[in-house]
Amino acid sequence: MKYFKIKILSAILGIILFSNITAYSAAVYVESKTIETVLKLIMKNYVSNISQAEIINGGIKNLNKYLKDNSYITVLSSINASQTPDKQVKNLLDQINNLLSKSKTLKKDTVMAEFVKGAVESLNDQFSVYLSKDEYKKLIEQMEGGNFGGIGIYIDTDKNSGYFTIVSPIDNTPASEAGLKSGDIITKIEGKSTKNMTPNEASKLLRGDIGTPVTITVMSSGSNIPEDVTLIRAYIHMKSLTYKIINNDIGYIKLDIFGDQTSREIEEALNYFQERGVRGYILDLRNNGGGYVITAVEVCSKFLPSMSQIITIEGKSFSKIQYRSFPNFRPNFPVVILVNEYSASASEITAGAFQDHKYAKIIGEKTYGKASVQTIIPLLDGSAIKITTARYLTPNQRDLNKKGLVPDITIKMSPLKIGTQNDVQLKKAIEFISHEIKNKFTFKPYFKDNNYFDEAYTLSELYYKMQNYKNETVSDDIQNQNIIILDNNYYDKITKNNPKSPQYYFDITSFFN
């Protein structure tokens, strides 16, 4: 399912869109509207109040570092915070154009990229970043199940060491075949230290042509001895989930990411289970770092009663948006959701909705604690900025940010044991579901509020009702920024009229390579 207009990002559930950001007036060297637009997008939509001078000076600081590192003589001066916002921008543009006029080798695109990167970094927000063309392309590939040459791992930054940790290897890839496991620490890639390296920088080193080698230095979990491991890059295509039947009547779904195809894939799994008489489900969200906000809503909708509240999103630039589940006519089979410390964002949205509605037993360990929403906004040169634009609350108005979700049944276990004979969390889930199947079976109502049923003549009409659609603008300066959530039919109509309209993707906490 595709969605149009300001897509809000986060762990899984929202969509906001900025269209028509293409009418820029060109300056002699640097398009003033480009810088002005970036600054306005950050100022108006970043979740917290911030100073424009601080953002500009953050960009200048990073640009000056680039200039010094590359032996350029001219550097830029900091902006005075006492100046009016318009004068601050004019001062910046004058300095940049003066810089470009004095250098025959310095490229405008490089100057803009270094400035925007520093501007976003000045937010001091680990989830707000500048994405180069390649980084943005790879993020889209990840969310849409793209194909590339890689080794097949999810990585995240280890909180203690600053190096990369393997969240999980992907089955039947060079990483899994080499014996790499969840919890292993990657200290070097091709001889370069990964300490404080960004996931995007790591992706550049790990990915490459199929059949080419890449050497990583790995410390196995529980070991202090690093070892070099050379892997041959292979074709990587990732489905967002795998599924199987356990004990003839339990449907097990291991969901790795809330991606573009997840709704279709989970529907395929549920149909497979239904045809084979499954009467209970285990939804495994362990090591799942998130994905599209709207996909979390779709996943919840496969199980929860129609019109159940899933999440409330609050942002500085828009009113509260409440998401409810879509029409659902499946029987109320018992559900267990498995989580651990690497379950984040969209995973927490999903588990939180089930827990608040008491429609599943949550088993495992306390989750990551990421309750912020990011919006990824493409720029004209093919790069993008990702900024935190909102916070989210569970149906019971719980804020999980930096707190995490506490399971109903806590069972501590190393991520290394997931999927092995010693997976005690999964064993407990099977035990619980088997007991539920044996002792009770009930059907849930088709709609949380039956009054909606008579009004739901079409899915698109119901979709609007569920999203509590309001015709509100996010910004007075950028045209057509109404918050609109559209189903396939509306999306097709709009994209025919606006074939170049951008799409917005949202944040995840881990990257696969």
**Positions marked catalytic:** 345, 356, 370
Beta strand pairing call for 192-193 and 164-169: unpaired
Q: How many of the other CB atoms lie within 10 Å of CB of 25?
A: 9
3-state secondary structure 313-332: EEECCCCCEEEECCCCCCCC
The radius of gyration computed from the CA coordinates of the chain, to the nearest angstrom, equals: 24
Q: How many of the other CB atoms lie within 10 Å of CB of 326?
A: 21
Q: How far apart are CA 237 and CA 152, in angstroms?
A: 9
293: closest CA among 3, 512, 88?
3
Task: Determine the 3-state secondary structure of 480 from DSSP.
Answer: coil
**Matching residue, tokens 């996010």:** 474
Beta strand pairing call for 250-255 and 280-284: parallel
Identity (one letter) of the amino acid at 374? Q
Task: Determine the 3-state secondary structure of 342 from DSSP.
Answer: coil
Question: In 13-144, which ranges are E strands?
Answer: 129-131
Distance between alpha carbon 280 and the CA centroid of its chain, in Å?
A: 29
- Per-residue burial over 340-359, b if 16 or more Cβ lie within 10 Å, else e, is bbbbbbbbbbbbbbbbbbeb
Burial class (CB in 10 A: 0-12, 13-18, 19+), 365: buried
Q: Which residues contact 410 (CB under 8 A, 6 or more apart)?
A: 364, 365, 366
Q: How many of the other CB atoms lie within 10 Å of CB of 454?
A: 8
Bridge partners, 244 (sequence order): 252
Q: How far apart are CA 93 and CA 114, in angstroms?
A: 14
321: closest CA among 14, 7, 11?
14
Q: How many of the other CB atoms lie within 10 Å of CB of 102?
A: 11
Question: In 145-249, which ranges are E strands?
Answer: 147-150, 153-157, 164-169, 185-189, 192-193, 213-219, 227-232, 234-237, 241-246
Beta strand pairing call for 280-284 and 335-339: parallel
Q: How many of the other CB atoms lie within 10 Å of CB of 324?
A: 25
**Matching residue, tokens 């939804």:** 283
